[in-house]
Amino acid sequence: MTLTDTNSLTFRAERRPETYDPKQSLFVACLLTMSGGFLDAFTWLSLGGVFANSQTGNVVFVGMYLALAKWGEAFHHVPPILSFLAGAVAATKARAPLLCLWAEILLLGLITLWLRSYPELAIVGISFAVALRATSFRQVDRWKYLSVTVTGNLLRAFDQIALPANSEPVRGARTLLIICGMFLLGAAAGGVMATHWPGGALLVPVGLSTCALSFCYRRRTRTV
């Protein structure tokens, strides 16, 4: 046996099949990011101008109202920020993405029942549920993304574009720009639902997350 044959056998012995992780698929990222855009638009329009996802927006409002000495308006934006942080901590400690997605679905379903009666409590619950999902799903293929914002995803897309031209950066940029487009689509849908069917609007993100969860369970044993 020659040295080349030996090296070939060694390479084959060391090679392992890569595990396909559906949680990191573009399909799941698109569904969850569309849900993120939907919830931001819906909560801002229907729940007193407060964001469920965009804690940057809430922080801006807190700072602005504090500067204007409008203490009540400033405090109005604090609970979702704290709730989002609590959800992020819970998801980080749990390290169980599918369990966190289950929890988000159940929480949003329950909140639908008392959305109109207790809007202040609803936004706190939605922010917690969103944080569970967003903290647990932050990888699409080999690229990082966020399902609750566009800014970071746009920056990462243009980082890929700036790299030397080959198929990998192009694919990364295309993936991240598609995700940004899904956030926009979700926001448009959230605006429509907030206007025409606010009482049942949360069933849309529940449906999107349920589709993502079902996909993960059906595909998690597949290998490539």
Q: What is the C-alpha to C-alpha distance for residues 29 and 153, in angstroms, rounded to an integer?
A: 12
Angle between helices 97-113 and 78-94 (to 10 degrees): 150
**How high is the pLDDT of residue 146?**
95
Decide: helix, strand or coil at residue 144: strand
pLDDT value at residue 164: 81
Fill in the amino acid letter for 120.
Answer: E
Q: What is the pLDDT of residue 19?
A: 66
Q: Reply yes or no on whether the pLDDT at 7 is more than 60.
A: no
CA distances from 36 to 11, 73, 115, 157 (A): 44, 24, 18, 18
Place of tokens 């799941």: 28
Q: How far apart are CA 33 and CA 69, in angstroms?
A: 35
Can you tell me the mean pLDDT for 82-87? 97
- For residue 132, the one-letter residue type is L
| 69: confidence class by pLDDT, cuts 50, 70, 90 | very high
For 151-207, the pLDDT digits (tens) are 999 999 999 888 887 788 889 999 999 999 999 999 999 999 999 999 899 999 999
pLDDT tens, residue by residue, 97-148? 999 999 999 999 999 998 888 988 999 999 999 999 999 999 999 999 999 9
What's the burial of 3, exposed, middle or buried (CB within 10 Å: 0-12/13-18/19+)? exposed
Structure tokens at 166: 């080959």
- pTM of this structure: 0.87
For residue 134, what pLDDT is reported?
96
**32-58 tens-digit pLDDT:** 999 999 999 999 999 989 998 889 999
Query: What's the length of the chain?
Result: 224
pLDDT at 222: 55
Residue 220 Cα distances to 34, 38, 44, 140, 216, angstroms: 22, 27, 35, 15, 6
Query: What pLDDT shows up at residue 223?
Result: 45
Question: pLDDT class for 14, splitting at 50, 70, 90?
Answer: very low
DSSP codes joined into one string, 152-213: HHHHHHHHHHHSPSSHHHHHHHHHHHHHHHHHHHHHHHHHHHHHH-GGGTTHHHHHHHHHHH
